[in-house]
Amino acid sequence: MHYFEYKNGELYVEDISVKKLVQEYDTPLYIYSAKTFKRHFKAFDSAFEGLKHLTCYSVKANSNLCILKLLGQLGSGMDIVSGGELFRALKAGIEPKKIVYSGVGKREHEIREALLADILMFNVESEAELIKINKVASEMNKIARVSLRINPNVNPETHPYISTGLEKNKFGIPEDYALEIYKLAHNLSNIEPVGIDCHIGSQLTSISPFLDALDKILDLYLKLLDLGIKIQYLDLGGGLGIQYKEEAPPHPIEFGKALKKRLQNKNITLILEPGRVIAGNAGILVTKVLYTKKAPKKNFIIVDAAMNDLIRPSLYGSYHKIEPVIQSSAQQTIVADVVGPICESGDFLAQDRKLPKLKEGDLLAVFSAGAYGFTMSSQYNSRPRAAEILVDKDKIILARRREVYMDLINLEDNCI
């Protein structure tokens, strides 16, 4: 559920008119609902009551500081994949012992920064990375707590670009080698293996792949206990999907029940890394119609948002519901591509979409844009990035100002 609703034919975010926000902050504009973020986090986190657990929000889904602070105040930890995300999480006031560091390519300075912060643990993706973390920790006279990310070769049945648990994916340590790498970790001087990690992909619409992976992980857990390697944390990653169109993802309660059944009587803390399921439907992207164009075989609605603002449709072929901000009583509709100003044929927000007949200046809301929207945006074609607004009931927070032209060149001073 989200709090973007029509009132008398006009779209509101909580108690604020979207049209009013556009009048003040212009378009393209990302708008987030604090009430939706809170509802989604609580619904997810409460599904695992009865299990020792820590919910670590996946920062890459939406890394705005206002969002991280909001979730931190609700008790969330953070799952990070870069030094920059660590910097953001700490700036947002997140307790370091609630931060886990994932990702296949951690650089030495990033490892040092995480050790200095004393984060909960690193999710290690390879033997080479494990050795590098031990080296850095030794130089700093610190002990690095680690979890090994296991690749269980489970098909998550999702888009291939966001599948991470198959043998052909770059992520994790193959399950056949896991025991040997744990033995190595156990014997390294500055490493303490404290967890097992597994993340098989994103936008999953069934819990069965999670459970298939968990069965393999629990088998490894018992073998490690026999070796005297005490595992305190089981990190199952994130990946639970949301509804963009006609998907029917499971409710977190269903997921929680299944995990409770398998993990009962296990002396272990469960870690979960939700991102999209918390943020996806908590945000919209608002764009303005610039022109309409009729070609021999296509109708085009040209808007001021583009693939640099929301790349998911171009990159993944993803569907996002698009609706006018002001509903029209007119019955006339057209089938059109909703496209942006960027010089790429792949620059579209929707293709062959049935919409009311629109005119210049009309506003469109692109729904389910709260996750992997702004975080994946860019300045391609030298387009300043959009502003981000967080609405909390009747309170408006400018979460990120709109970039201006000087922001495009302020790191290029030597060329001026």
**What is the pLDDT averaged over residues 123-147?**
97
Q: Which segments are annotated as binding site?
A: 239, 273-276, 312, 316, 344, 372
Q: Per residue in 167-198, pLDDT tens?
A: 445 557 887 889 999 999 999 999 999 999 98
Q: For strand 322-324 and strand 363-366, is the pairing parallel, antiparallel, or unpaired?
A: antiparallel
Structure tokens at 414: 């030597």
Structure tokens at 341: 């100003």
What's this model's pTM, rounded to 2 decimal places? 0.93
- Out of 276, 310, 328, a domain closes at 276
pLDDT of residue 165 exceeding 50, the answer is no
Phi-psi region of 24 (alpha: psi -120 to 50; beta: other; left: phi over 0): alpha
- Out of 276, 302, 328, a domain closes at 276
Shared-domain flag, residues 262 and 322: no
Q: Per residue in 57-94, pLDDT tens?
A: 999 999 999 999 999 999 999 999 999 999 999 999 99
* φ, ψ for residue 328, nearest 5 deg: -105, 145
Shared-domain flag, residues 321 and 246: no
How far is residue 285 from each of residues 22, 252, 304, measured CA to CA in Å? 11, 26, 11
Q: Per residue in 268-313, pLDDT tens?
A: 999 999 999 999 999 999 999 999 999 888 999 999 999 999 999 9
Q: Which segments are annotated as binding site for substrate?
A: 276, 312, 316, 344, 372
Q: For strand 269-272 and strand 233-235, is the pairing parallel, antiparallel, or unpaired?
A: parallel
pLDDT of residue 157 exceeding 60, the answer is no
Q: How many domains does the chain have?
A: 2
Q: Per residue in 214-238, pLDDT tens?
A: 888 888 999 999 999 999 999 988 8
Q: Which segments are annotated as binding site for pyridoxal 5'-phosphate?
A: 239, 273-276, 372
- Out of 276, 300, 332, a domain closes at 276
Respond yes or no on whether the N-terminal peptide bond of residue 274 is cis (omega within 30° of 0).
no
**Nearest alpha carbon to residue 33 among 235, 284, 263, 220:** 284
Query: Could you tell me the pLDDT band of residue 239, with boundaries at 50, 70 and 90?
Result: confident
Shared-domain flag, residues 19 and 160: no
Shared-domain flag, residues 366 and 342: yes
**Nearest alpha carbon to residue 286 among 5, 8, 21:** 21
Query: In the predicted model, what is the mean pLDDT of the chain?
Result: 91
Q: Looking at residue 192, which CATH number applies to its domain? A: 3.20.20.10
pLDDT of residue 152 exceeding 80, the answer is no
Query: Could you tell me the pLDDT band of residue 154, with boundaries at 50, 70 and 90?
Result: low
Measured between its terminal Cα atoms, the distance across the chain in Å is 50
Structure tokens at 381: 């074609």
- Catalytic residue numbers, as ranges: 343
Q: Which stretches does DSSP call E strand in 28-106?
A: 29-33, 53-58, 77-80, 99-101
**Per-residue confidence (pLDDT) for residue 393, from 0 to 100:** 93
Least-confidence region, from 169-173, 321-325, 353-357: 169-173
Shared-domain flag, residues 27 and 38: no
pLDDT of residue 253 exceeding 60, the answer is yes
Structure tokens at 202: 């994103």
Shared-domain flag, residues 115 and 183: yes
Half-sphere exposure of 358 (CA within 13 A, CB side): 31
How far is residue 16 from each of residues 34, 244, 348, measured CA to CA in Å? 12, 23, 28
Shared-domain flag, residues 262 and 312: no
Q: In sequence order, what are the beta bridge partners of 265?
A: none
Shared-domain flag, residues 61 and 97: yes
**What is the pLDDT averaged over residues 230-256?**
84
Shared-domain flag, residues 268 and 296: no
Angle at 377 between CA 33 and CA 205, to 5 degrees: 60
CA-to-CA distance for 326 and 11, rounded, in angstroms?
Answer: 6
Shared-domain flag, residues 173 and 238: yes
Shared-domain flag, residues 174 and 188: yes
By residue range, what is the domain housing residue 398? 4-32+280-413
Q: Looking at residue 393, which CATH number applies to its domain? A: 2.40.37.10
Q: Per residue in 10-56, pLDDT tens?
A: 999 999 999 999 999 999 999 999 999 999 999 999 999 999 999 99
